[in-house]
Structure 1
Amino acid sequence: MITRLIDGVDEIVGRIVSIVAIIFAGIIIYEVFMRYVVGAPTRWAFDVTKQLYGFYFILLGGYALRHQAHVKVDIVTHRLRHNARRWTEIIGYFIFFFPFAWVFMTRSYEFAMTSFNQGEVTYGAVQLPVYPLKMAVFVGAVLLLVQGVSEVLKLLLKKADHLEPMEPLDVR
């Protein structure tokens, strides 16, 4: 089924991108060692870690949505019955999520292509190309939009495990 394919792609991307966090941490540890122990800070570590964090953050949007890690307005839906909550989420996707994701995807594509065509680089001690990160923003937007399609299909097909009855909020 299409939802399994989309979920699988986002799962694979999420697992691969999670390795970036290890690389990111390694570079930071290396930079701290070089700066405070050796007394010779690097010229490249700050720019590289900024870009790696950007890759990490933006490419995990679809993975986070797949695992229900995005912010939801549960305070509105927590008292609704299962079916009403399901339809509220479906409507919410169409009113809020899909328009945002579409604009995010189309604008990030334009943003990435402008950067690529200009050969944009960072300014500072080391000039790294910026367009790969901006292209990752576009890829992340596509993954997020497609994962949204998967989530809506699961809701429509009543396969949403994340909509199990919730405990009532204790508002004492």
Structure 2
Amino acid sequence: MVIRLIDGLNEVVGRIVAVFAVIFAAIIIYDVVLRYGFRAPTRWAFDVTKQLFGFYFVMLGGYALRHQSHVRVDLVLDRLSGLPRRMLDLAGYLVFFLPFAWIFASGSYKFAMTSWRQGETTYGAVQLPVYPLKIAMAVAAALLLIQGVSEVLKLILDKTEPTPDGR
């Protein structure tokens, strides 16, 4: 039940956030048309697309982990299957991933709250608030952390989904 809840949450977030790729592509096209077609560039498009891309990138971390799309060094794991592979994968999550994800989540939260309290803005041509992006980073870190918990539970309960190569 916990695995399905976490996986489902990251699946829904991933699908919703994917829409932002279309939004920032539309803004970029709009700005390019204005800049080169009408010689009237916008002052805000670059900063807005930069923030939207940052939001898009960080918010998809849990979704990517859920679908095993993160970069991994599988030099040893590729040679193993079954229980030895699961045990080594579990050790990797417990020793490396979960401590990093915890530090990322707690640090991002502190970072976001400082930005919120200060009312931090960008320093570009248009001063956009920065704290929404930093809050998104904290939420994304939490989603990544709980997806890591889901992956650990899958390994412990042997509920891993087969990899593309069938293992």
- TM-score norm. by structure 2 comes to 0.97
Whole-Å separation in 2 of the counterparts to 1:77 and 1:166: 13
Secondary structure of residue in 1 paired with 2:9: helix
- Among all aligned residue pairs of Structure 1 and Structure 2, give the percentage whose two residues are the same amino acid: 64
- 1:6-155 matches, within 5 Å, as 6-155=6-155
How far apart are 1:166 and its partner, in Å?
5.5
Instruction: For structure 1, list consecutive stretches of 5 or more residues without a partner in the other structure.
Output: 168-172
What secondary structure, in the 3-state scheme, does the structure 1 residue paired with 2:42 have? coil
Change (3 A) 1:33 1:63: same
Unaligned runs of 5+ in 2: none
Partner of 1:170: none
**1:73-122 deviation per Cα after TM superposition (whole angstroms, max 9, x unaligned):** 21111111311000100010000001100000011011001100100000
1:156 counterpart = 2:156: yes
Query: Do the aligned partners of residues 164 and 13 (structure 1) sit closer, same or farther apart at CA in structure 2, a change above 3 Å counting?
Result: closer
Structure 1 stretches of 4+ with a deviation exceeding 3 A read: 162-167
How many Å apart are 1:16 and its aligned residue?
0.3
- C-alpha separation between the residues in 1 aligned to 2:139 and 2:165? 34
Deviation for aligned residue 1:161:
1.4
Letter in 2 for 1:90: L
Residue deviations 1:42-94, cap 9 Å, x none? Answer: 00000000000010000000000000000122111111131100010001000
Aligned partners of 2:81, 2:16: CA distance in 1, in Å? 37
Aligned equivalents of 1:87 and 1:165: distance in 2? 19
Number of aligned residues: 167
SS at match of 2:75: helix
CA RMSD of aligned residues (A): 1.3
Whole-Å Cα distance in 1 between the matches of residues 137 and 92 of structure 2?
23
